[in-house]
Structure 1
Amino acid sequence: MTYQRSQVSLLQSRLAEVPRFIHIVAGPRQVGKTTLVRQAIDGLAHKFVSVDPAGDAPDLRFAYLLEDTLEIEGAPRDSAWLIRTWKAARAQCLDAQQRQPGQPFVFVLDEIQKIPRWSDTVKGLWDADRAKGLVMHVVLLGSSPLLIQKGLTESLAGRYELMHATHWSWPEMHHAFDFTLDEFIYFGGYPGAAPFIHDEKRWRNYVLGSLVQPSIEKDILQMTRVDKPALLRQLFELGAAHSGQLLALGKVKGQLQDAGNETTLAGYLSLLGQAGLLVGLHKYHVGLARRRASPPKFNVLNAALISTALPYTFAQAKADRSHWGRLVESAVGAHLCNSALPREAVSYWRESPHEVDFVIHDAVRLTAIEVKSTATTGQLGGLDAFCKHHRHAKPLLVGATGIQLTEFLSYPLGHWLEAA
């Protein structure tokens, strides 16, 4: 039986309602967005169209869900194409509902961000459907940064519900692929790469060639203006190799060729984060300006990205306690970032000689987290110092003698704000 993520049932429940909003399913490359939607519409009347038919090969297990699109083969994927395709979906919806009144009909557009000014066109078509009372659900798939940057918050404001498809978590990789905890910490949460973990060279080539490179070349460089693409690539490579470490952007410039100013680097780091690759965590401080002025702490958003950035094999990584500790900390950081809700944030804290690995917070709650991959004794100076500075903060030790990693990685960030 094919594994189903929790978002499948969530989308199914929304499709059982009267259409009120456009359903947006967005997330990093190859986390299963298309498969998720295909599973959710299985058994429903639908039309599924990919904006990029020459892109990634479809999952043959779901080939029966792909509708005939021969009438539009070869046509440029522009607004005119989108209007023709939408009209065809309307006709199919009306026909299906004449045959089976009351049955939901779903129109799915995959890779929607590849249509220029797509959001303006979708807005007009969607509003026309609402005016006519057409009972047709619309599901759009695409990459998070591109969808947001290309008009979600402007043209489609108030017309959509956003569903994030994040990197796969430890419980998902364990249940779907029988990953051990150590395998998840090293190989991360890419479902497409899971079959290759026992051939590490093949696994590494797959992650770099099929995931990292397309994420940068297609999901960022082809859709966003980047004046120095080589610099963006170097920044990712440097940041992934230093995941779990603080690096001031001023110092980073010295390690990069043709480096721009710090504002340029910060902008590129933001793009990498939106693509689901790498983030730069800010230091926790009550004042927002002070947070942004601090050096970022790099953290990959999928543990596979640090493992492919460094030459350690799985066995070598486990044997090196210091390196393994970095992998564990990066996996925890990735989990926190991936599971955070919009009003929840992840930071770090450091006041020499004390530091805290992660600080999670929302408008009222604050939790300091220290990650230990091996047993620890005595006082936890960083946690103690932070809680003295912030009296309402709750301390949390993860790993070693604290909360076990398997438990911590099984719950989203919000749970640990409540439970700490």
Structure 2
Amino acid sequence: MVFHRDQVQALRDRLQEAPQFITIVAGPRQVGKTTLVRQALEKCAHLFIAVDQPAEPLATAFEDFTSQTSEMDGAPRDAAWLIRSWQNARRQLKAFKLNHPTQPFAFVLDEIQKIPRWSDTVKGLWDADRAQGLEMHVILLGSSPLLMQKGLTESLAGRYELMRATHWSFIEMHQAFDFTLNEYIYFGGYPGSARLIRDEERWRNYVLASLVQPSIDTDILQMTRVDKPALLKQLFELGASYSGQILALGKIKGQLQDAGNETTLAGYLDLLRNAGLLTGLQKYHVGAARRRASAPKFNVLNSALMSSATPYTFAQAQADRSYWGRLVESTVGAHLCNTATSNEEISYWRESPHEVDFVISDALRITAIEVKSGASTGKLSGLDEFVKQHPACKPLLVGTGGVDLTEFLSYPLAHWLELA
């Protein structure tokens, strides 16, 4: 049975509406963006063009309409090529609508960010379609949120709807690949590596060479000026290894070769977060300025990135309770980050000797989360102290003695704000 992510049905529903916005499908590398779009288009007439590959024949579910693309596959992928491709899609649309006036038609461009200044060209073409009343759905995909976001903020404000394709959740990996909870905690949520987990060395090499390296070398370094690429890579390696721990950027400079100032490191950490690799959670404060000034708590956005960065095998990781505890906590943090909406924030809290693993909040609600993976709950002094200082906060214990970890990973962040 073929597995469909929730976004597949969401995209199908949008295709049944009149085209009003460009649909942007963006997310980290290798989370199945192209697959989910193809699944959504199985019964919809469409022209799918991957920018870095030859154009495909028109795909349609209607037997009485067939047409071939006529693009010059050897032509450089520039603005002129994009205009010709769009014009070809318009011709296909008009021919299709002659016999199927009520059926949707979609034009899909994959890896759109590989076209220089793509957003300016798309803006002009999309606006022209609106002026002419052309009912053509346009779907743009990009393997790097960094590259996509730059174009969106520059030219397409108000013209698009963003569909996030995040890292896969435990429920998705369990349903699609029969992952156990412990397998998900260690091997993470990359669908492409799921069938390699019985050969751990092969799995590790795949994650490092096919996921981490291209995410940094292609998705970050090719689109952003990075004066010290080696420093950015070292920051990722250090952050992935220390996921679940709080490290002041000023203090870690000594562990990095050719380290820049703290502002440079903070900027590089933002780049890693936007690429879906690593984030630095800030300490919870009522004032936003004080949050930004705090030492970050590193958290990988997919636990595979932590496991592949350390020498522990699956068995060794489970045997080391301290390391396994950090891996569980990082899995919880990644889940919160990947399911948060734009109006929800994730932070941590520490006032020695007290600490809370995660604080989630929106404009009205706040929940403090403590994660326990040992045999017993132990003391919850940090949770108690935080609630004492913030009476409106709801405490939530996850793991031993609290909400079962499987249950917690089955619901998005908003659920735990509502139910806490």
2:356 pairs with 1:361: no
**Distance in 2 separating the partners of 1:132 and 1:69:** 23
**Distance in 2 separating the partners of 1:68 and 1:307:** 46
- 1:265-315 CA-partner distances (Å, limit 9, x unpaired): 000000000000000000000111111111000000000000000000000
Kindly state the Cα deviation for residue 190 of structure 1 after the two structures are TM-superposed.
0.2
**Distance in 1 separating the partners of 2:100 and 2:288:** 55
2:74 pairs with 1:74: yes
Q: 1:374/1:123 Cα in 2 relative to 1: closer, same or farther (>3 Å)? A: same
Alignment of 1:9-408 (within 5 A): 9-53=9-53, 71-142=71-142, 143-150=144-151, 152-377=152-377, 379-408=379-408
Kindly state the Cα deviation for residue 153 of structure 1 after the two structures are TM-superposed.
2.5
Match of 1:59 in 2: none
For residue 282 of structure 1, give the secondary structure of its aligned residue in structure 2. Answer: strand
**Distance in 2 separating the partners of 1:330 and 1:52:** 35
Kindly state the Cα deviation for residue 379 of structure 1 after the two structures are TM-superposed.
4.1
Kindly state the Cα deviation for residue 69 of structure 1 after the two structures are TM-superposed.
5.2
**303-312 or 224-233: bigger deviation:** 224-233
**Distance in 2 separating the partners of 1:221 and 1:281:** 23
Q: 1:377/1:105 Cα in 2 relative to 1: closer, same or farther (>3 Å)? A: closer
For residue 218 of structure 2, give the secondary structure of its aligned residue in structure 1. Answer: helix
Kindly state the Cα deviation for residue 68 of structure 1 after the two structures are TM-superposed.
5.4
Would you say the 8 A contact 1:240–1:300 is kept in 2?
A: yes
Q: 1:363/1:86 Cα in 2 relative to 1: closer, same or farther (>3 Å)? A: same
**196-205 or 115-124: bigger deviation:** 115-124
**Distance in 2 separating the partners of 1:74 and 1:233:** 35
Matched residue type, 1:240? A
**Distance in 1 separating the partners of 2:194 and 2:379:** 39
For residue 348 of structure 1, give the secondary structure of its aligned residue in structure 2. Answer: strand
Kindly state the Cα deviation for residue 154 of structure 1 after the two structures are TM-superposed.
3.4
Matched residue type, 1:89? A
Would you say the 8 A contact 2:282–2:295 is kept in 1?
A: yes
**Distance in 2 separating the partners of 1:192 and 1:72:** 32
**Distance in 2 separating the partners of 1:117 and 1:191:** 31
Would you say the 8 A contact 1:186–1:304 is kept in 2?
A: yes
**Distance in 2 separating the partners of 1:69 and 1:373:** 56
- State the TM-score, normalizing by the size of structure 1: 0.95
- 1:356-403 CA-partner distances (Å, limit 9, x unpaired): 000000111100000000233454101000011111000000000100
For residue 155 of structure 2, give the secondary structure of its aligned residue in structure 1. Answer: coil
Matched residue type, 1:321? R
For residue 233 of structure 1, give the secondary structure of its aligned residue in structure 2. Answer: helix
**Distance in 1 separating the partners of 2:23 and 2:72:** 24
- State the TM-score, normalizing by the size of structure 2: 0.95
For residue 417 of structure 1, give the secondary structure of its aligned residue in structure 2. Answer: helix
Coordinate RMSD, CA, aligned: 1.1
- 1:92-126 CA-partner distances (Å, limit 9, x unpaired): 11111112221100000001111111111101000
Matched residue type, 2:34? T
For residue 350 of structure 1, give the secondary structure of its aligned residue in structure 2. Answer: strand
For residue 73 of structure 1, give the secondary structure of its aligned residue in structure 2. Answer: coil
**Distance in 1 separating the partners of 2:233 and 2:247:** 17
Q: 1:40/1:387 Cα in 2 relative to 1: closer, same or farther (>3 Å)? A: same
Would you say the 8 A contact 1:375–1:401 is kept in 2?
A: no
Total equivalences in the alignment: 407
Would you say the 8 A contact 1:49–1:69 is kept in 2?
A: no
Match of 1:419 in 2: 419
Matched residue type, 1:117? R
Match of 1:57 in 2: none
**Distance in 2 separating the partners of 1:322 and 1:2:** 38
**Distance in 1 separating the partners of 2:219 and 2:2:** 27
**Distance in 2 separating the partners of 1:113 and 1:135:** 24
Unaligned runs of 5+ in 2: 55-66
Matched residue type, 1:149? K
For residue 30 of structure 1, give the secondary structure of its aligned residue in structure 2. Answer: coil
Q: 1:276/1:378 Cα in 2 relative to 1: closer, same or farther (>3 Å)? A: closer
Would you say the 8 A contact 2:69–2:88 is kept in 1?
A: no
**Distance in 2 separating the partners of 1:251 and 1:81:** 49
Q: Percent identity of the aligned residues?
A: 73
Would you say the 8 A contact 2:71–2:85 is kept in 1?
A: no
Would you say the 8 A contact 2:361–2:367 is kept in 1?
A: yes
For residue 235 of structure 1, give the secondary structure of its aligned residue in structure 2. Answer: helix
Kindly state the Cα deviation for residue 52 of structure 1 after the two structures are TM-superposed.
1.5
- 1:229-261 CA-partner distances (Å, limit 9, x unpaired): 111100000000000001110111111111111
- 1:314-344 CA-partner distances (Å, limit 9, x unpaired): 0000111111101100000000000000010
**Distance in 2 separating the partners of 1:280 and 1:52:** 33
**70-79 or 106-115: bigger deviation:** 70-79
**Distance in 1 separating the partners of 2:272 and 2:377:** 38
